[in-house]
Chains A and B, each alone.
Chain A
Amino acid sequence: MKRDLGIVSVLWLVLIGVGLVLAGFDVLPETHSDKGADVRHAWETLVLMAVPVMAFVIAVLTYSFLAYRRRGEPAEDGPPHTGRNWVPKVWFVLTGALSAVVIVYPGLVGIDAVMKKNDTTDIVVKLQATKWRWIVQYPDQNVTTLKELVLPVDKHVRFEIQASDVLHSVWVPAFLLKVDAVPGKTTYLEFKTTKTGSFEDNEAMRLQCAELCGRDHATMQLPVRVVAATEFDQWVADLGGEPGLKPSVAKSKPGGHSGH
């Protein structure tokens, strides 16, 4: 028993080491929004919590598989551990504590972070989802386009999203954010752009419909560009709009990632 526990503990530590090395690899897309950074942080926290738990189960499973295997039919019975002792109670308390931690952080704390509303909104973009394309409108700049979604960097953005036919979903993988477009109501996504970039360099910089909407759901996408403010103004001017941002202080409008 002592020997078994010793070897499993060593194996557990080794696997935790392996897990931590693997956790070091960055698997998320390059992140271009402030809330995306919150998502990234939640991800990294969960990975760190998962490593020792997975390592424990795999260690016991692997060791048992290798150490307790019998050639042919076992002649005798194993020791009669029925579990009518303290072990399940301790396990119950430990798993309970662990899920309480996950609930509080990154769970509840993270919800507040990613659902937060902008204090001031620098730019409003209306996204109209319709089978199977996106209509992008900038009401303050008086620009409408079907070709791409362009945003100025380091600005607070509000998407105002509508669907004209069926459900769609607004997802920019490089923002790590997503919200559905629902017929009959306007839904919102508020965040701040944090980094320039474009679809040409990074396929995650695209507006992708993420809710099955029929035939061409897969290709219901639009290139996204996050650019410097001056470049944004130039782009607006090129399309015959009115350059310049018109920041607005948040009223009682619903924001974050919600609808009404």
Chain B
Amino acid sequence: MTDAVAHAHGAAGGDGPAYTGWYAAGRMARGVAWAAVGFALGVALLAVVRNITGHDGWSKEASICAGYLLALPGWLFGMGMWDGWGREWFGHKVKHAPSDWGRYFSFCHDHKVIGIQYLATFVFLFLFAGLFAMVIRWQLLSPNGAILTNAQYNSVMSMHGTVMIAVAVAGVAGSFGNYILPLQLGADDMAFPRLNAMSFWLIPPVAVLLLAALPMGGWDTGWTAYPPLSTTNGTGQLMFNLAIITFGLSSILSGLNFICTFIFMRAEGMTWSRIPVFSWSLFAMAWIALLFTQLFAVSLIMVTLDRVAGTSWFNATHGGQPLLYQHVFWFYSHPAVYIFVLPAFGIILEILSHLSRKPLFAYKWVVGAFFGILGLSGIVWAHHMFTSTMDARLLKPFLITTELISIPTGLIFLAALGTIWQGKLWLRVPMLFALGEVFNFLIGGVTGIFLADLPTDIHLQDTYFVVAHFHYTIVGGEIFALFAGIYFWYPKITGRMYNERLGQWHFWLMFLGFNFTFIPMFWPGIQGMNRRIAEYTPDLQNINIVVSVMAFILGASFLPFVWNMLASLFRGERAQANPWRARTLEWQTTSPPPVENFPVPPLVTGGPYDYGVPGAAVHAAPAYSAAAGD
């Protein structure tokens, strides 16, 4: 069977001529050019309307908005949507993306290419925003601020937070969601491959807008963008708004795609109870992305209208309500933390089962827990507003719903512990990251109770206690899972094995660096250091020096990682189809898989985790003998 698969792989990529990278460069140049034309057109159209209504033609922020509204489709169509959708609409033959390495820089429909595009982009953005974290920790070596002015600090802090939130939203779901989901389901692609490519190519404008904000003075509202500050500050804020609205669009489209793929693209025999847990976690996550993201976009559209159209959603002097923003914003942004951690749970449970050689403990309870979390996530948002002076009648209900989330989350812990209990633990790098994630998320979860509980939150809200807590959930809970997934699926994606020794160095440096950075960070928060400050009181300098030094070690831990990933790409040992002897479907095809994923459609006949179960059927096998086609 392996031979047949390898053979098919060699012949892959038959549709579309083998262009070079020049094709991709040309399409990008066309995208930029069409975006420029779109921008000019938008500005001009607005100028006409404004002139007719008796205003000056150019109004900085309104003109930027109008220009961007047309620049974005210009970019997308230039980049490749025209070759697919556009030409088809006018009855021309569709042009395909190149099939050689240039496809990674093209509007390519292959979910594996898109997964790699997401992975590379978001690992890069993670390291980029990590450098900003290093700058922040450098600044906080001194109570008076070591290097930055207060205004610069606010920009750096806002950039770090915003980019890291983007990494948290799409880093795991965009990369492994796209790459692994169709493979685990036994599908040949996502349900909507073109839409998938569009989701990814919406990301570069996001990055460009955020970077463009810097020369405009950045934005100083963090990633939360609370008005009235965000309706009255510099134009960098507008760039942030447009970037996040665009990013939200990408998220919504991805969410829709994941849901449809999960429901309609499963291989024969892939019944609901045979679906791997990572796919389940993506399914639950995708509902949040589809249903809630629009609220974030709406809140930022309202901020933008207050800025450019003179509305008064949040302007109190004209009857607006600043608190309205917080309700709409957190209605998305609390569920968003489950966009981060649900797929992370999926990854670590997947790895714990395969590398303990044991069934996933309480599989059906875990799936139930995912949906419990999904349901509860929508009715807890106001726990971020306990000190906001919202209506006092809301306090108790939101305290209750928030505390209830610890019940489904507890089931995830049960599954993790039950799975490794008496297992045969194969402590390779992905397993280390998975076990580390369980420890980290324990601390993240328990400290969260202090923030869900109003009587303690009223002191801890907006302090470094919160900062330490959410780094435990997002970095400790999700980014550790991201790295677990990178090492786990590296052989599948690249066809090469990573270097185990370097990987172990990375894990221990990162795990210890992370915990020794963020455990001490709770202390200044409790003692009176609030968050988002460029300066602090001198009594807290010693602890801040400790935190900063440890943070630099954490930062250094990514050097062996980057080297490992790049060097192994060329020098790594050739990976087999299934180096982990795992049962799930992504391992039942070559590494890397051929364009069509499975040369022979798989037939699913058993559960994905039946390790050690006497007489268990294999999870899946080719639907008919491959020999016939060889």
Chain A interface (Cβ within 8 Å of chain B)?
1, 4, 27-29, 36, 38-39, 42-43, 46, 50, 53-54, 57-58, 60-61, 64-65, 68-70, 72-74, 76-84, 87-88, 91-92, 95-96, 98-99, 102-103, 106-108, 110-111, 113-115, 165-167, 169, 171, 173-174, 176-180, 182-185, 187, 203-204, 206, 208-219, 256-259
CB < 8 Å: which of B233, B421, B455, B528 contacts A110? B455
Whether the Cβ atoms of A180 and B528 lie closer than 8 Å is: no
CB-CB nearest in chain B for A68: B425
Mostly, the A contact residues are: mixed
In the docked arrangement, what's the CA distance between A219 and B537, Å?
9
Contact A203 B453 (CB under 8 A): no
Kindly list 19 other residue pairs between chains A and B, CB separation below 8 angstroms, not including A166-B229, A183-B228, A210-B530.
Answer: A4-B421, A38-B455, A54-B442, A80-B610, A80-B613, A87-B418, A88-B411, A111-B455, A114-B454, A183-B317, A203-B528, A208-B528, A212-B221, A212-B224, A212-B532, A214-B220, A218-B150, A218-B536, A257-B387
What is the CA–CA distance of A113 and B356 in the complex, to the nearest angstrom?
Answer: 48
Give CA–CA (A77, B357) in the complex, Å: 5
Give the contacting residue for B424; candidates A70, A81, A178; CB below 8 A.
Answer: A70
Residues of A within 8 A of B528 (CB): 29, 173-174, 203-204, 206, 208
Could you tell me if A180 and B417 are in contact, using CB atoms closer than 8 angstroms? no
B→A interface (CB under 8 Å) = 150-151, 153-154, 220-222, 224, 226-229, 232-233, 316-317, 320-323, 356-359, 361-363, 365, 387-389, 392, 395-396, 399-400, 403-404, 406-407, 410-411, 413-415, 417-418, 420-427, 435, 438-439, 442-443, 446, 449-450, 453-456, 458-459, 461-463, 523, 526-528, 530, 532-540, 581, 610-614
Closest CB in chain A relative to B396 CB, distance in Å: 6
Contact between A76 and B454, CB atoms less than 8 A apart: no
**In the assembled complex, how far is the CB of residue B533 from the closest CB belonging to chain A, in whole angstroms?**
3
Q: Which residues of B contact A80 (CB under 8 A)?
A: 358-359, 610-614
Q: Known contacts A60-B417, A178-B459, A182-B323; is A78 also within 8 Å of B424 by CB?
A: yes
A residues near B526, Cβ cutoff 8 Å: 27-29
A163 to chain B, nearest CB (A): 9
- The answer to whether B420 and A166 have CB atoms under 8 Å apart is no
A65–B458 contact, CB under 8 A?
no
Chain A residue numbers with a CB within 8 Å of B226 are 166-167, 211-212
B453 near A78: Cβ-Cβ < 8 Å? no
Given contacts A103-B400, A184-B317, contact A212 B439 (CB under 8 A): no
Q: Is the CB of A77 within 8 A of B426?
A: no
When C-beta atoms are compared, the residue in chain A nearest to B528 turns out to be: A173
Which of A98, A114, A218 has the most B CB atoms < 10 Å from its CB? A218
Q: Is the CB of B389 within 8 A of A259?
A: yes
Interface centre among B392, B411, B450 (most CB of A within 10 A): B392
A102's contact among B395, B403, B418, B421, by CB below 8 Å, is which?
B403
